Chains A and B, each alone.
Chain A
Amino acid sequence: MIRRRRWRQSLTPWLYLLPVAGTFLVWVYEPLAQAVWRSFFEWNMLPDTPMTYVGWGNYQNILALPKLWQALRNTALYMFGLLPFAVVAPLAIAIYTQDLPTRWRNLYRGLIFVPMLIAPVVAASVWRWLLDPGHGVVNRALAAFGLGPVAFLSDPRLAIWSIIGITGWKLIGFATLIASAANARINPSLIEAARMDGASGWAIVRHIRLPLLSSTALLLVTMSILLGAQWTFSYINVLTDGGPLGATTNIYYLLWDFGFSSLSVGWSSASAVLLFIGFALLALGLLWLTERVSLHDA
């Protein structure tokens, strides 16, 4: 009787966990294992065609593709290109505007947050209109200064920066909010003490605020990588289709392209495995850095 009760007691937590654990097992972890397995086969997703075992063939093939390297370079470009919008500008704005009265702060807060609520597809369609070479308001404004027209989305050198800019537009207000909140939590007596000691404004920022904000900065970096990965897909899909000449394709878009345009499950899975490994290393690196920085705080 007692043994049975104890058994039931140890079962209870698992019953509560079941829905979440089951969902992640079915939709995340099993598919992850499946992606690894499928990366060793060649298959075109049609149910009645056979899957052929090709060993490391898919990996060899995709690693020999200039397209893959281009996509990886672009992915890095997206990540670094977002940093000014996600980290540098928000921290600068947060520090610069800390003295504003609460009423104004709340007003600005409410306004700059709005792009975060706009769906990526809507953002894409609106920016397509704004950046239209013929009649878009941006080019009309440039024309007033005798400039342009600029082919923001079809010039191979510019397109990726346009997409980075659109992603940054959606992110910058929210990142500024987070930076301001973190900045406001810095103990004012630290600042006052430094000021009493005659530290200049810049010295206070450089030696007190920025070190105390470093874990926030890392959080913003992580956020820009995560959200950037999600959002850029919609922008690329709607605005450039990866072009011109692959100039805006990043690794996420390439996976989709391999899988659902070329119908090459093997290639898509092999690059999925590579992406997962790279992503995990990057994330663990960031986590490790955050850990170190927060020790430094204390």
Chain B
Amino acid sequence: MTPDAIPAPGWRLAIRPQAMAQRRGRRLGRGVLGHGVLLALSFVCLFPIYWMVVTSLRPANAIFETTLWPSAASLANYRYTLNAIPVAQMLGNTLVVALLVTAIQLLTALLAAFAFARWRFTGDRLVFALVALTWLVPFQVVMIPNFLLVAQLGLLDSLTALVLPHFASALAVMLLTQAIRAFPQEVIEAAHMDGASSWRLLWQVLVPNLGGSLASLAILIFISTWNEYFWPLLLSRTPENSVIQIGIQMFMSAEGNQWGPLMAASTMASVPILAFYLVLQRQVVQSFMQSGLR
């Protein structure tokens, strides 16, 4: 602290009551302003999403209205979009890919985290570092070799190829390693003494107690896979074999500024995640914050 912040002795007692009243007043003023700041931020964050939904409900002849609610709400845009692109199938594809990736990444991360947390072995630090350092490689750097590999395997324009490079997640490995290391060592040793194999130890002792970490990772992986754009963009050729994010992109380049149907497509792509968020709000926020704070 700098010297000018330290007051002369006695000063504090002398003006205390006055200072307290002043502080209380200031705190009240700050409270109101604080609400104002956060309200403004909330508005900025939410208005675009609100506008997307409202526009999707405006009939074509009233699409340029600026009222907060359509004068005659209709689902015509949704009908139009459903006819223009195979929305249902693309949503289904997205769901399948996101669920598969979530399940696979949790499984592989669990196995790897268990190895890192349970044993010391030659090269363990190096391998852990190599896992952690994968985030240093932007996807654009490896996209051409990855694309060529998929092409060689004859998997272009297939859902399989959307899942394949996502068999492992560095973040999941690191978070689960932490979680397993934090697990009481005595319990693990006791199970070991009882002659439990490492496999049984993992599935019967550890996994039932990792529910929280696994659930929050699952949320994180599912949402980021659902929203992924770049890798599908490289691979997808036909709407039927693609995910909803590519559907929106195809729709936009084919239909241009058909704002109503475009907002309907965007709304349909977002509703599953937003509905999920409505139900599990606190857990979703928590799991994202965990990934950020570490």
Contacts and interface: CB of A to CB of B under 8 A. Distances in A.
Interface centre among B42, B142, B167, by most chain A C-beta atoms within 10 angstroms, is B142
Nearest to A97: B34
Interface in A104-125: 104, 106, 108-123, 125
A45 B170 CA distance: 30
Interface of B: 1-2, 5-7, 11-12, 27, 30-31, 33-35, 37-38, 41-42, 44-46, 48-49, 51-52, 55, 63-64, 66, 107-109, 111-112, 114-116, 118-119, 121-122, 124, 127, 130-131, 134-146, 148-149, 164-165, 167-168, 170, 173, 198, 223, 226-227, 229-230, 233-234, 245, 248-249, 252, 257, 259, 262-263, 265-266, 269-270, 273-274, 277, 281-282, 284-285, 288-289, 292-293
Nearest to B151: A47
Contact of B141 (A32, A140, A173, A208): A32
A149 to B, nearest CB: 14
A229 B46 CA distance: 23
Interface centre among A178, A182, A223, by most chain B C-beta atoms within 10 angstroms, is A178
Contacts of B42: 108, 111-112
Interface centre among A22, A31, A199, by most chain B C-beta atoms within 10 angstroms, is A31
3 nearest A-B pairs in the assembled complex, by CB-CB distance: A31-B145, A31-B142, A16-B115
B145 A30 contact: yes
A113 B285 contact: yes
A17 interface: yes
Nearest to B104: A19
Nearest to A259: B144
A129 B27 CA distance: 41
B37 A10 contact: no
A125 B266 contact: yes
Given A114-B45, A237-B233, A280-B136, A12 B35 contact: no
Interface in A56-115: 93, 96-97, 99-100, 104, 106, 108-115
Nearest to B227: A119
B144 A268 contact: yes
Main secondary structure of the interface of A (DSSP, over half): helix
B141 A112 contact: no
Interface residues of A, number: 99
Nearest to B119: A13
14 contacts: A17-B115, A20-B112, A27-B165, A100-B35, A112-B38, A119-B269, A120-B229, A122-B52, A198-B5, A198-B7, A238-B249, A259-B143, A268-B144, A279-B137
